[in-house]
């Protein structure tokens, strides 16, 4: 029901609709029957990713020559949205994985692409991202983990925090300082997770997205070859920003999927729940909430699809991706609370999924750039750096 307006008006192609339908079918068939238990037990459903891999969703934007589907970013956004509609944790796992695939496809050498993209796109390997440190989150240019040049390549040392997919990945894209302070001294590395000296220090327990793997990684004298560096020395901050720009389309799509789930649940409950002899949807206190929820869902979708379409066209999309993430994440958090309110006491129990949507929505305002960071990006595009 909540798919009718924005998607139709955006004139999706048959291929895009087919990919959305495929993701929705897998989500309903493979995730929906199990998500309550997975969420309750904080389960990372490793076998699910073999199914997603076989369907091509783990390589959706990877070029066909490297084993991927070679689809566009609009298709990527649609797939993430459909996964998030059932489970936001699965959606972010796939989104971050594809963010790394995109970075390698855009910035990697031919050798790096040949080594990693086929494995990530079609051989059931997962990619992770390691940027944040205890004193460097939104201030990504202040990272302290360092890489020292050696005869064999580089020696990596440091601690990374809140690494999505970190303990289940085959590859981690990680940022290390190779030069002076500030963004110019940061370089990006593609680190094989089987490398000696790389270890998981802690699995992070979270408010929501319990099916997503989040951990702290320790790099203790991890030796990597020179060709493990992505792009050039000192380009790591730019590489991270390139990855995050495309990743924000994914997180905006994730937030949109949560919002769509909130609308679906709210409409269903408002029709079925009676009070004072009539469905609660007949009361303006409920119906107006649903009307605003639907309106914001359309707006979020159009912002996400616009950013994705610009990326597909090879045009600048950083500001548009920030706008999409800012709006969609704010709307998801706001309307998850409204969905819970519509459900009343039932919404506060685990018998209905809206309490999970409520817990899952908040993180979309924080990771891959907080809402405040998105506002900085948007305002600087308008005003310049003042």
Quick one: tokens of 258? 């949560």
368 is catalytic: yes
DSSP per-residue letters across 282-330: GSHHHHHHHHHHHHHHHHHHHHHHHHHHHHHTT---HHHHHHHHHHHHH
Per-position b or e across 284-305, b if 16+ CB within 10 A of its CB: eebeebbeebbebbbbbbbbbb
Contact (CB, 8 A) for 97 and 105: no
3 state SS of 160 = strand
3 state SS of 87 = coil
* Active-site residue, selected from the candidate residues 81, 355, 365, 368: 368
Count CB neighbours of 123 within 10 A: 12
Contact (CB, 8 A) for 60 and 18: no
Contact (CB, 8 A) for 252 and 246: no
Q: Give CA separation, 329 vs 129, 249, 360, 365, 376, in Å.
A: 21, 11, 11, 5, 16
The set of catalytic residues is: 368
């Amino acid at each position: 029901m909540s798919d009718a307006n924005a998607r139709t008006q955006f004139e999706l192609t048959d291929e895009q609709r087919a990919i959305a339908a495929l993701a929705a079918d897998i989500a309903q068939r493979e995730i929906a029957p199990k998500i309550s238990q997975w969420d309750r037990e904080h389960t990372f459903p490793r076998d699910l990713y073999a199914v997603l891999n076989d369907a091509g969703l783990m390589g959706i934007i990877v070029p066909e020559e490297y084993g991927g589907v070679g689809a566009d970013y609009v298709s990527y956004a649609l797939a993430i949205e459909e996964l998030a509609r059932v489970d936001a944790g699965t959606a972010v796992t796939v989104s971050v994985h594809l963010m790394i695939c995109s970075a390698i496809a855009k910035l990697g050498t031919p050798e790096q692409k040949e080594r990693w993209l086929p494995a990530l796109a079609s051989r059931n390997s997962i990619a992770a991202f390691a940027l944040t440190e205890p004193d460097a989150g939104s201030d990504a240019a202040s990272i302290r983990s360092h890489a020292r040049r050696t005869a064999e390549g580089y020696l990596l040392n440091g601690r990374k925090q809140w690494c999505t997919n970190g303990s289940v990945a085959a590859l981690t894209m990680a940022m290390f300082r190779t030069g002076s302070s500030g963004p110019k001294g940061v370089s990006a590395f593609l680190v094989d997770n089987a490398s000696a000296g790389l270890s998981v220090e802690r699995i992070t327990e979270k408010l929501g997205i319990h099916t997503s793997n989040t951990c702290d990684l320790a790099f203790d004298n991890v030796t990597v070859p020179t060709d493990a560096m992505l792009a050039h020395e000192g380009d790591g901050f730019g590489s991270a920003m390139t990855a995050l720009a495309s990743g924000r389309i994914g997180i905006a799509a994730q937030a949109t999927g949560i919002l769509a789930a909130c609308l679906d649940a709210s409409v269903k409950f408002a029709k079925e729940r009676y009070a004072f002899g009539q469905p609660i949807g007949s009361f303006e206190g409920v119906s107006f909430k649903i009307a605003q929820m639907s309106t914001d869902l359309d707006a979020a979708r159009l912002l996400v699809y616009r950013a994705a379409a610009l990326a597909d066209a090879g045009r600048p999309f950083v500001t548009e991706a920030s706008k999409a993430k800012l709006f969609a994440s704010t709307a998801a958090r706001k309307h998850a609370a409204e969905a819970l309110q519509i459900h009343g006491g039932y919404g506060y129990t685990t018998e209905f999924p809206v309490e999970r949507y409520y817990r899952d929505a908040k993180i979309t305002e924080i990771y891959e750039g907080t809402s405040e960071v998105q506002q900085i990006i948007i305002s600087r595009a308008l005003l310049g750096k003042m």
